[in-house]
Chain A
Amino acid sequence: MSAFVWLTILTALRILARNRMRAGLTMLGIVIGVAAVIAMVSIGEGAKQAVQAQIATMGTNVIIIFPGVTSASGVRGSQGSAVTLTVSDALDLKKRIPLLSDTGWAKRDVMQIVYGNRNWNGTVNGVSPSYLTIRDWSFTSGDPFTQTDVESAARVALIGQTIVGNLFEPGEEPVGAVIRIKNVPFRVIGVLAPKGQSAQGSDQDDVIFIPFSTAERKVFGTSFIGSVGAMFGSTDQVEDLPMAAEQIREVLRARHRLQAEQEDDFTIRTQVDIGKVQEGTSETLTMMLFAIASVSLLVGGIGIMNILLVSVTERTREIGVRMAVGAKRRHIVMQFLIEAMTLSLVGGVLGIILGVTGAKLTTLIAGWPTIISGNVILLAFFFSLVVGLFFGLYPANKASRLNPIEALRYE
């Protein structure tokens, strides 16, 4: 049997080589389908990983709590417009929820920052020291501020890479320099390591951190002392995030004395939730790719079926001879199935080569990250095999049912 299969594969390859143009056109559907799948899955995977890396820049196992919205006569304000969250909320959460390893808080505003004769409008954040650890900020030079800085409302600042780039000359050391935020002088004590874009696309490095107490008393001019723009918590294990979020909700509802029928006056987001939104996006993309792949493989398969039907007609006499010398039905079926699968497999391999090349070129030319996984290649290979098998069945069966007498007489 194996000699039979080998010879049949050899024969199939010879027939392909003989009709290169025809075989090439037949395989085109499979080639394009497989190449498109490989290229797009590679680009999709690359994008997914880039997004996951962005989400990771948020910190590790982070929960973010925003204040609710103001509501006047049914008209709602923007997210965080209410001043329902306070520093004491954050401190109480840490005390009452053991799952939380830490809590922090922050308040932000866009303000003009001046150094020498340069200025820049950057996001100034008054933050608790714990905020920096929760969000995994690290430093290229200098140090974070200390509890003493917080207690004394010291005028010290940590600045991000975008601020450095806009206020300082290349090579100039920002640590020790005095910058002015809303005309208040601040000493730069640390430069933050870059984080790049956030998952939402904003520049995370266009940022200045100053102690929360300093911001409240000397920069923002808040009317509600102790109110925060957002609170942050973290857990040791990622699995604890949903449970911690639920406990935060209960504690905050109790602290805010909300009745059962009242809505939350805050919003809780965990890193897992944000990840899910991104996953949803990539799932949509995957479904789309799947649809494209299905259509092109279907079209490719029909092409193979068509050419095989032509081949069965052209080679009717040969089939008759084979039957006369003792080919059984299964021999004829096998012969045409192997020819179909050879066509689709060669097409699949060409598609894989084209797809991988396409993905690599995308990285090279457009600079998009691509990830070529072995699984996708295996899957493409497997699919082209299945397409050949499926669409070869009908012509193969048709050939095997020829009457040998009529086939031998066929002109």
Chain B
Amino acid sequence: MMSALIQCEDVWKIYRVGDMEVQALRGLSLTIEQGEFVAIMGSSGSGKSTLMNILGCLDQPTKGRYRLNGIEASNLKPDQLAGIRNQQIGFVFQSFNLIPRTSALENAQLPLFYRGLSLKEQRAQAAAALGRVGLQGREHHYPTQLSGGQQQRVAIARALVTSPSLLLADEPTGNLDTQSSQEIMRILDQLNRDEGITIILVTHEVDIAAYAAREIVIKDGQVLSDRLTKTRPTPSPVGG
């Protein structure tokens, strides 16, 4: 019996700002199974960004346990976390975060760069990943030569190239127009449905969240609500 992909148990995150103590997460518990498509919603300051950082192994809980794919990540060293990010997690950011003046192929290659693969293998896998997001023929374009939607697709290719068990998308459509947003969401939906990639999506747009099958609302560092919105995700029109 496989354990859940993500297990958060009583996770606390406490920052100290001068004399003030800020409790960003307050005993949050959460379980996400392999293959789920989850939308995390919440107002700013709710702690959803902190949760994403912990889920993405960019940060560690002050208290509590976080297990990713059976690995206890709450007490690993920075280089070990870097290794987990490289092996298990793909990131998609709101502002794409492509490396400027570097081709789409090289951007998609980046995670493999730190895996010690041969250059030929890196290129082949990166080209394949770009193909999966419909960017074949654009391998040698620079970010400035691509539209916002295309840039975000390069970012998705970069996230996919390592075949991660978890894809974290932090407001992936926040900087995109309606049409591009739909494109990106369709790609994510397809990856989840056809390839069974677990996707956690942070958004504050209801219609974007509607692509997910489960909706978790965070408030004051705790889970406010957690519900299944549909058994099979179906695309719905975005915007109005």
By a beta-carbon cutoff of 8 Å, the part of chain A in contact with chain B is 1, 3-4, 6-7, 14, 18, 317-318, 320-331, 404-405, 408
Taking a contact as CB atoms closer than 8 A, the residue among B53, B59, B79, B91 that contacts A325 in the complex is: B91
Instruction: List B residues 173-232 near A (Cβ within 8 Å).
Output: none
Q: Is the CB of B82 within 8 A of A323?
A: yes
| Bound-complex Cα distance A404 to B83 (A) | 14
| Bound-complex Cα distance A329 to B111 (A) | 14
For residue A324, which residues in chain B have a CB less than 8 angstroms away from its CB?
56, 58, 85, 91, 97
For residue A322, which residues in chain B have a CB less than 8 angstroms away from its CB?
110, 114
Taking a contact as CB atoms closer than 8 A, the residue among B53, B58, B97, B114 that contacts A317 in the complex is: B97
| Bound-complex Cα distance A4 to B118 (A) | 9
For residue A405, which residues in chain B have a CB less than 8 angstroms away from its CB?
53, 58-59
For residue A331, which residues in chain B have a CB less than 8 angstroms away from its CB?
114
- Judged by DSSP, the binding face of A is helix
A3-B58 contact given A322-B110, A325-B110, CB 8 Å threshold: no
Interchain residue pairs with CB less than 8 A apart (13): A4-B116, A318-B99, A321-B99, A322-B114, A325-B85, A325-B91, A325-B111, A326-B82, A326-B83, A326-B111, A326-B114, A327-B114, A404-B58
Given A325-B158, A408-B93, output 19 extra A-B contacts at Cβ < 8 Å: A3-B113, A4-B116, A14-B101, A317-B97, A321-B97, A321-B98, A322-B110, A323-B82, A324-B56, A324-B58, A325-B91, A325-B114, A326-B82, A326-B86, A326-B87, A328-B82, A328-B83, A329-B79, A408-B97
For residue A323, which residues in chain B have a CB less than 8 angstroms away from its CB?
82
Instruction: List B residues 101-127 near A (Cβ within 8 Å).
Output: 101, 110-111, 113-119, 122
| Bound-complex Cα distance A1 to B114 (A) | 9
Residue B78 CB within 8 A of the other chain: yes
Q: Is the CB of B101 within 8 A of A321?
A: no
| Bound-complex Cα distance A1 to B117 (A) | 8
For residue A14, which residues in chain B have a CB less than 8 angstroms away from its CB?
101
For residue B78, which residues in chain A have a CB less than 8 angstroms away from its CB?
329
A4-B114 contact given A323-B82, A325-B85, A326-B83, CB 8 Å threshold: yes
| Bound-complex Cα distance A3 to B125 (A) | 15
Instruction: List B residues 138-177 near A (Cβ within 8 Å).
Output: 158, 162
Minimal Cβ-Cβ distance residue in B for A324: B91
For residue A317, which residues in chain B have a CB less than 8 angstroms away from its CB?
97
Minimal Cβ-Cβ distance residue in B for A14: B101
For residue B122, which residues in chain A have a CB less than 8 angstroms away from its CB?
3
Q: Is the CB of B110 within 8 A of A321?
A: yes
Minimal Cβ-Cβ distance residue in B for A321: B97
| Bound-complex Cα distance A168 to B5 (A) | 108
For residue B158, which residues in chain A have a CB less than 8 angstroms away from its CB?
325
For residue B99, which residues in chain A have a CB less than 8 angstroms away from its CB?
318, 321
| Bound-complex Cα distance A177 to B78 (A) | 97
For residue B100, which residues in chain A have a CB less than 8 angstroms away from its CB?
318
Please give the distance in Å from A9's CB to the nearest CB on chain B.
12
| Bound-complex Cα distance A318 to B107 (A) | 11
By a beta-carbon cutoff of 8 Å, the part of chain B in contact with chain A is 53, 56, 58-59, 78-79, 82-83, 85-87, 91, 93, 97-101, 110-111, 113-119, 122, 158, 162
For residue B79, which residues in chain A have a CB less than 8 angstroms away from its CB?
328-330
Minimal Cβ-Cβ distance residue in A for B50: A405
| Bound-complex Cα distance A325 to B114 (A) | 8
| Bound-complex Cα distance A404 to B58 (A) | 7
Q: Is the CB of B118 within 8 A of A3?
A: yes
Please give the distance in Å from A19's CB to the nearest CB on chain B.
11
For residue A321, which residues in chain B have a CB less than 8 angstroms away from its CB?
97-99, 110
Minimal Cβ-Cβ distance residue in B for A331: B114
Task: List 7 tightest A-B contacts by C-beta distance, closest first.
Answer: A326-B86, A325-B111, A328-B79, A328-B82, A326-B114, A3-B119, A321-B97
Please give the distance in Å from A391's CB to the nearest CB on chain B.
25
> Which of B82, B83, B87, B119 gathers the greatest number of chain A CB atoms within 10 Å?
B82
Minimal Cβ-Cβ distance residue in B for A322: B110
| Bound-complex Cα distance A121 to B189 (A) | 108
| Bound-complex Cα distance A320 to B91 (A) | 12
| Bound-complex Cα distance A272 to B162 (A) | 73
Taking a contact as CB atoms closer than 8 A, the residue among B93, B101, B119, B162 that contacts A7 in the complex is: B119
For residue B117, which residues in chain A have a CB less than 8 angstroms away from its CB?
3
Minimal Cβ-Cβ distance residue in B for A323: B82
Minimal Cβ-Cβ distance residue in B for A320: B97
A6-B56 contact given A317-B97, A325-B85, A327-B114, CB 8 Å threshold: no
Taking a contact as CB atoms closer than 8 A, the residue among B56, B59, B93, B116 that contacts A3 in the complex is: B116
For residue B118, which residues in chain A have a CB less than 8 angstroms away from its CB?
3
| Bound-complex Cα distance A176 to B87 (A) | 99
For residue A3, which residues in chain B have a CB less than 8 angstroms away from its CB?
113, 116-119, 122
Taking a contact as CB atoms closer than 8 A, the residue among A6, A320, A326, A404 that contacts B119 in the complex is: A6
| Bound-complex Cα distance A3 to B85 (A) | 21
Q: Is the CB of B116 within 8 A of A1?
A: yes
Please give the distance in Å from A34's CB to the nearest CB on chain B.
30
Please give the distance in Å from B134's CB to the nearest CB on chain A.
21
| Bound-complex Cα distance A331 to B97 (A) | 19
Please give the distance in Å from A28's CB to the nearest CB on chain B.
24
For residue B119, which residues in chain A have a CB less than 8 angstroms away from its CB?
3, 6-7
> Which of A4, A6, A324 gathers the greatest number of chain B CB atoms within 10 Å?
A324
A327-B82 contact given A4-B116, A405-B58, A408-B97, CB 8 Å threshold: yes
For residue B85, which residues in chain A have a CB less than 8 angstroms away from its CB?
324-326
For residue A4, which residues in chain B have a CB less than 8 angstroms away from its CB?
113-114, 116
| Bound-complex Cα distance A138 to B93 (A) | 88
For residue B114, which residues in chain A have a CB less than 8 angstroms away from its CB?
4, 322, 325-328, 331
Please give the distance in Å from A67's CB to the nearest CB on chain B.
81
